[in-house]
Structure 1
Amino acid sequence: MSITEGLSQSVELKKPLTALVNKGCVPVGGIYRLDYDSAVVLTDDFKKKEAGGVPRGGFLLAVAGDNTDSGFILEDQEVILLRVRGTAPLPNESELIQTRLAVVRDAGASGVGFDDVTDVLTRNELQQSAFDCEVLGTFYTENDARDASIEYGADIDNVVVSARYQVYLPSTEVLSWLASYPEPEDTQDALTIGKVRFAATRRKALIAGTDQAEVRISVSDFVGRKTAVFGMTRTGKSNTIKTLVTAVHRYGSEHKRSIGQLIFDPQGEYANVNKQDHTGLRLLGDDESTVRIYKVEPSSADSREKPLRINFYDREVLEAAWSLVSEATTPVDTNYGKSFRSSVLSEPDPNDRSRYSRWAWAAVAFYGLLAKCGFEAESLPQPLIIAAETGPMKDFLGNHPKVQVQAGRSGSYRIISPAAALALTEWIGERESEFPKWHDTKDCHFSAIWGVYKYTGVTSAIRSIRAFHGPNSAGDVGQHLWQDMQAGRLAIVDLSSGNDKVAKVMSERVVTHLLNKASERFRADHEPVEMQIIVEEAHNLFERGGREVTEDPWVRLSKEAAKYRMGLIYATQEVTSVDKRMLSNTSNWLISHLNSDHETRELAHYYDFKVWTPSIIRAEDVGFVRMKTYSGKYIIPVQISKFDHAMVNGARNAAGLASIDAAIEGE
């Protein structure tokens, strides 16, 4: 080779894509059929063994060029990215099958090895096979400069029917680059979420070292966007969510951005420290300035823990209390139950005296019902003022001398306590014939509420949510959480003490409140409050196609949240349980094991997850996911890293907090 040729090759080898192919990539064959969507790669058993195996779903690089003593020189600065879908028949497949049959038969009959009944040429011929590959796209540079940036197109712009395309299996370094493309420009935006994993069986990957190929993602992809985490129970969904929440927390600290995160926790696993490895999201902060955990029974010794309860007698949260009570009685599908739930308790304008008076009587009946069901409180935070005829009220007060009802002017009375509301409701309710107009249900739902006082199905259902009543609680939890989001805190709502109905109503109310507050800021042209909402066991909260957008806060969130910079991470076992309108607006997908083809068929409608359905159904390994991110160009199979103290301490250090020792925390 002349000096000129040597210099020319040296220049070529430094071009970005040529350098990429020469970073330890191993040749596995060549293309003998190519079109815009697929390719068939000819290979043989020897090349596959030398490469360390080629798994289904694996990446291959097809390049046109020449082998030289210095390395492979690309003919043009472009590399076609292929994904192995399976095997393909060779043109002479029928002949090969006949030959293989003869070899197996002869070897079996003679009791000797296969190599003993074939010659070298036949053995080489029998070892040939082909891969059926999907064309994912093309890596290319816009010019041939050594510092040219590598671009990616999700297709190919020309088909060359040529045998010059050689196919390489990426090395560990190149595989990591492929799995992380495009690399975040900001190193503080990068998160090593795990390592590439193509198959449940990992022997060949362990030998070849490709199991060490790291996958790096952009944390910013998950801020202000929708993320779906699908998988069966115990397949690592919670671990994935903890990793993402911690990464966003760290990202906010490092970029001086206030990003609030709200987790609806149905099982209490996020609100508490894990007893096995002593990790937990609550460790991201030492006090309530960073982390707040809303529980039914908060610990007075931990400033991070706040009461989840509301005072059901507080008129500021009357609508929330009525929603929880109505939802709790939904299983009671009788006429009494339906009539009760049809009541309207929204407080009207006090200037509309007639309507306000009818509402006040309904409120008396409701507060009396709460008292009957064991919702304790010595007094009402705001006395109820009712209008009533003097004669009947004198009879009532005469028979109940100790009841907390104060007479006012012009036939008005102040109801001071829940006990007084209960006593008055029962007095009037038992005398329907004497006071018929007090039972009129037009704009007044006194009768509908009184009608369930003696119906144990309704009262038992209401008693089931007493845990969420706190007589000393002040204000709406939704407003407290809005303030947390404004302050950029991590807020965890522990819903493990209530039933699914209560969790559904409470979470919907909170999300609706946050959306309304965000909408107000948007209309006022104020900077949005950046926040993330994380929902575990989302199938218990979402309704697939059940309601209009305005009535379904989750669908509304998926459609409006982008302009409010509100992100959503939802985890569930069932793709079909999520409204299609939400799925269509989801940017990031992390899919682990699903055991039903009903679910995988639904999943196959999005991106090219159809290619991965056999693996998704078969592989049950914990933390093995197929991932598509907002900036990612294709689906990457990943073994998600285990959430640990190093992640927690990384986020704490970024926020200026000291590291936590795992052993000390576990004591």
Structure 2
Amino acid sequence: MVNINQILNTASYSDNPLSLLTEFLKKQEHLQDTRLKEGLRFVGYVLDLGYDKAKIITSDPYKLAVGGIPRGSFLILSVNQNDNLNLPPHFTLLRVSSVSATPLTNQVQQTYFELHKKSMPELDIWTQGELQWGALECDVLGMFYPQQDNNIELAFSGDVNNVVSAHNYKVYSPDEKLLELIVNGIVNKKDQHVIGSLRPTECQLGIDQKKYPDVKISLSDFKGRRTAMFGKTRLGKSNVVKVLAESIIKTTAQDKSVGQLIFDINGEYANDNPQDGNKSIASAYPETTEVYALSPRESTPSKELKLNFAEQPHTTIQILKTFLDRDGEDAHYVKDFKNTSLPSIDEIRSAAVNEQNRMIRKIQMFWAILKRANFELDESKLLELGLNTRIVKGFNPGFSQDLRRAIYKDNEPATIKSLDDLVKELRLVWEFKNDKNNSNSKLLETSSGKPLFDAVDEALLGFLHPISGSGPKILANYRIYHSPRAGDFVQEIIKLLNDGKTVILDLGNANETIRHYFSDLLSTAIFKEQERKFVSNQLGEHFIQLYFEEAHNLFPPTSNDNTTVYHRFAKEGAKFHIGMVYSTQSPSTISKELLVQTENFFVGHLSSSDEANALSKLQSTFKGLEEDIKKCRTPGYMRILTTSHRFIIPVQVKKFEL
């Protein structure tokens, strides 16, 4: 009757992936009964078992038969098949952590000591049989079993539900099919891609890597989530980014559900280079990729990564003020300038007619400042903006004829045709206003008796022609951000991202300050756009994925300001469908708040104990792997942890190449 129950139990789980385990154990029992070695995966017995650790005993022939048992390799722990148990197929997953002492360790060492002391040429078969046994310490990672409410689905728990006496267990090295189940069985089935192949150990001596399965990831685990890339330079972090970005491009080619923005500080994602088989993300996928470059390269089609300061005055004056703050410019006239704000072109067009004159005049003053700072300006394009009223037209600020006669001493020009003319007229008006001997102050009032210039006007004119100081010339260093041919690249990029495109910012020739500027500017704009879509219920299934390198410069661990856009990405990114992939050499240099919120990890070689310990302290899943992480330096050899993977998988990440 018991055998019938076992048959029925096995049949009820025949469609579950764990049916592989049932077949595997039957085959192993047969091989052990018939004493056949080919295909034998049995490695030993349990000496001691707890909820977190297991000590197993094994023998040299067993280890040799399975090709070795390196530290970090997976073993499966299975309950002996007997008539007293009628459980669904299941197994406990172990990871080898170290060699352990056995109860006979001292006697074995004594035997070796006597052996070498006497220089015995060989061992007798009985002594050899005794010495080949040893013990391994293993971490208990969890248990694979069928889902309770769905017999055909696989489940995994990070703990075990019961521990019985050690003699009830056998330990096996999983075959290729079970390894496939272990590394891929619980991965989200949606949008799966191969990231590389399983590689339990850096040493490949005597190992056929082809026998190890491919490791899959689900791109759904990365959308709207935080992903960390840790490891020393030149060991594969950038390659992982390329593989991830490529996978998202391929997966979303039809539905355009993910827009990607890559801050390319070395130019390696935008430009072809030998280490990528002479192909970059941009050249490999030209139909779905757009490059913006601060310094365009002849071999890479790109758009200018610059602002037209004159056409976007309300935005660019804020940028100029940020630069002046950074550079410590604190003259009185500079402080007044930094307290100003300008209307946008759209605000002017929608304002009441009686308000437009003052608003346009402020824009003209800003243009005059740029002109004096030697910014290259396309005057014909500025005239096309259509900032005209009955009084103010083009570059003409619309001052009264009486005022113009007074400032030009009856030699007023008939019209103002250029920015040079505008600069001159504003200078004369400002000098007239500041002339203490001037008795004609009524000319500086409007027809309603109000002052012609308000506080913003005076701050702009005071900056344009200061009593002392360099004036607009202090803006000369910021001309590199400006081009009269640049459109509003921020809005262009947001539109491309909303259309599911991949945008690469080539910052390869930029210094740290410039990188910060573009990173902050675009990150803030994207956050506001996603927040706007969230409150208006327009997010849908669309996501934005951001890629940052040298991330420690953006969110340092000692920062007391937790209100930056990067901290908001960490806290609220998932809610607003913003995913973030950040790379750095040192986990200890990253904000602890961000690390705690990070779901996915790719970890290569870390050179110091402090760095390895910092990682395992904040992400306990890496505990016990610190020594391996410090020792292994093969490029592309990573330990990965994703939202789907509940334990660390050692992977040789595939190379990005076409």
TM-score class normalised by the smaller sequence: 0.7 to 0.9
Q: 2:314 aligns with which of 313, 318, 342?
A: 318
- Stretch of structure 1 that moved more, 83-92 or 388-397: 388-397
Compared CA separation, residues 106 and 391, structure 1 to 2 (3 A): farther
Given that 1:25 and 1:170 are in contact with CA atoms closer than 8 Å, whether structure 2 keeps it comes out as no
For structure 2, the 5+ residue unaligned runs are 29-38, 388-393, 439-450
Given that 1:64 and 1:75 are in contact with CA atoms closer than 8 Å, whether structure 2 keeps it comes out as no
Given that 2:340 and 2:456 are in contact with CA atoms closer than 8 Å, whether structure 1 keeps it comes out as no
The answer on 1:170 being equivalent to 2:174 is: yes
Instruction: Name the structure 2 match of 1:656.
Output: none
What is the deviation of 1:296? 3.2
Instruction: Name the structure 1 match of 2:31.
Output: none
Please give the secondary structure, in 1, of the residue aligned with 2:80: strand
Instruction: Name the structure 2 match of 1:613.
Output: 626
Pairing 1:24-423 to 2, within 5 Å after superposition: 26-66=41-81, 77-107=89-119, 112-113=120-121, 116=122, 118-141=123-146, 148-186=152-190, 189-206=191-208, 209=209, 212-253=212-253, 256-275=255-274, 277-287=277-287, 290-296=288-294, 298=296, 305-314=302-311, 316-320=312-316, 322-323=318-319, 325-329=320-324, 332-333=327-328, 335-336=330-331, 340=335, 343-347=338-342, 370-379=370-379, 380=382, 397=408, 417=419, 420-421=422-423
The answer on 1:516 being equivalent to 2:528 is: yes
Partner Cα distance (1:338, 1:530) in 2:
45
The alignment's TM-score, normalised by the length of structure 1, stands at 0.78
Compared CA separation, residues 565 and 100, structure 1 to 2 (3 A): same
Partner Cα distance (2:104, 2:333) in 1:
73
User: What per-residue deviation string (whole Å, max 9, x for no partner) do you get for residues 52-95 of structure 1?
Assistant: 11111111101121599xxxx99762211011111222223333
User: What per-residue deviation string (whole Å, max 9, x for no partner) do you get for residues 261-290 of structure 1?
Assistant: 111111221112234512221235444xx3
Partner Cα distance (2:333, 2:169) in 1:
71
What is the deviation of 1:293? 1.3
What is the deviation of 1:141? 2.7
Compared CA separation, residues 191 and 402, structure 1 to 2 (3 A): farther
Structure number with bigger Rg? 2
Letter in 1 for 2:207: A
What is the deviation of 1:609? 1.4
Letter in 2 for 1:523: V
Given that 1:41 and 1:130 are in contact with CA atoms closer than 8 Å, whether structure 2 keeps it comes out as yes
Q: 1:534 aligns with which of 524, 547, 555?
A: 547
Please give the secondary structure, in 2, of the residue aligned with 1:202: coil
What is the deviation of 1:463? 4.2
Given that 1:30 and 1:166 are in contact with CA atoms closer than 8 Å, whether structure 2 keeps it comes out as yes
Partner Cα distance (2:414, 2:603) in 1:
61
Compared CA separation, residues 88 and 400, structure 1 to 2 (3 A): farther
Given that 1:221 and 1:631 are in contact with CA atoms closer than 8 Å, whether structure 2 keeps it comes out as yes
Please give the secondary structure, in 1, of the residue aligned with 2:573: helix
Given that 1:432 and 1:439 are in contact with CA atoms closer than 8 Å, whether structure 2 keeps it comes out as no
Compared CA separation, residues 300 and 96, structure 1 to 2 (3 A): closer
Letter in 1 for 2:524: T
Partner Cα distance (1:172, 1:453) in 2:
79
Letter in 1 for 2:270: A
Q: 2:508 aligns with which of 496, 513, 520?
A: 496
Partner Cα distance (2:424, 2:623) in 1:
60
Compared CA separation, residues 64 and 291, structure 1 to 2 (3 A): same
Indicate the percent of aligned positions where both proteins have the same amino acid: 26
- Stretch of structure 1 that moved more, 425-434 or 587-596: 425-434
Given that 1:361 and 1:446 are in contact with CA atoms closer than 8 Å, whether structure 2 keeps it comes out as no
Letter in 2 for 1:249: I
Compared CA separation, residues 232 and 420, structure 1 to 2 (3 A): farther
What is the deviation of 1:623? 0.7
- Stretch of structure 1 that moved more, 293-302 or 584-593: 293-302
Letter in 2 for 1:47: Y
Partner Cα distance (1:435, 1:216) in 2:
82
Given that 2:318 and 2:341 are in contact with CA atoms closer than 8 Å, whether structure 1 keeps it comes out as no
What is the deviation of 1:12? 11
Partner Cα distance (1:495, 1:281) in 2:
15
What is the deviation of 1:312? 1.4
Instruction: Name the structure 1 match of 2:582.
Output: 570
Partner Cα distance (1:452, 1:200) in 2:
70
Letter in 1 for 2:267: G
What is the deviation of 1:641? 0.2
Given that 1:77 and 1:140 are in contact with CA atoms closer than 8 Å, whether structure 2 keeps it comes out as yes
For structure 1, the 5+ residue unaligned runs are 407-415, 646-667
Pairing 1:543-554 to 2, within 5 Å after superposition: 543-544=556-557, 546=559, 548-549=561-562, 551-554=563-566
Letter in 2 for 1:322: Q
What is the deviation of 1:164? 2.4
Pairing 1:397-476 to 2, within 5 Å after superposition: 397=408, 417=419, 420-421=422-423, 424=426, 444=459, 454=469, 462-474=475-487, 476=488
What is the deviation of 1:36? 0.8
Given that 2:5 and 2:86 are in contact with CA atoms closer than 8 Å, whether structure 1 keeps it comes out as no
What is the deviation of 1:249? 1.2
Q: 1:597 aligns with which of 591, 606, 609?
A: 609
The answer on 1:626 being equivalent to 2:625 is: no
Partner Cα distance (1:119, 1:399) in 2:
122
Instruction: Name the structure 2 match of 1:651.
Output: none
Given that 1:259 and 1:489 are in contact with CA atoms closer than 8 Å, whether structure 2 keeps it comes out as yes
Compared CA separation, residues 345 and 338, structure 1 to 2 (3 A): closer
What is the deviation of 1:136? 0.5
Instruction: Name the structure 2 match of 1:410.
Output: none
Compared CA separation, residues 466 and 442, structure 1 to 2 (3 A): closer
Given that 1:441 and 1:447 are in contact with CA atoms closer than 8 Å, whether structure 2 keeps it comes out as no
What is the deviation of 1:370? 4.1
Partner Cα distance (1:563, 1:144) in 2:
30
Instruction: Name the structure 2 match of 1:561.
Output: 573
Partner Cα distance (1:616, 1:400) in 2:
80
Compared CA separation, residues 74 and 44, structure 1 to 2 (3 A): farther
Please give the secondary structure, in 2, of the residue aligned with 1:191: strand
Partner Cα distance (2:620, 2:355) in 1:
55
User: What per-residue deviation string (whole Å, max 9, x for no partner) do you get for residues 346-398 of structure 1?
Assistant: 22698999999999998777655544544211435666887989999767656
Number of matched pairs? 608
Given that 1:260 and 1:485 are in contact with CA atoms closer than 8 Å, whether structure 2 keeps it comes out as yes
The alignment's TM-score, normalised by the length of structure 2, stands at 0.79
Instruction: Name the structure 1 match of 2:490.
Output: 478
What is the deviation of 1:342? 8.3
Given that 1:260 and 1:486 are in contact with CA atoms closer than 8 Å, whether structure 2 keeps it comes out as yes
Letter in 2 for 1:309: K
Partner Cα distance (2:370, 2:637) in 1:
49
What is the deviation of 1:445? 6.8
Given that 1:195 and 1:212 are in contact with CA atoms closer than 8 Å, whether structure 2 keeps it comes out as yes
Compared CA separation, residues 368 and 257, structure 1 to 2 (3 A): closer
Please give the secondary structure, in 2, of the residue aligned with 1:582: helix
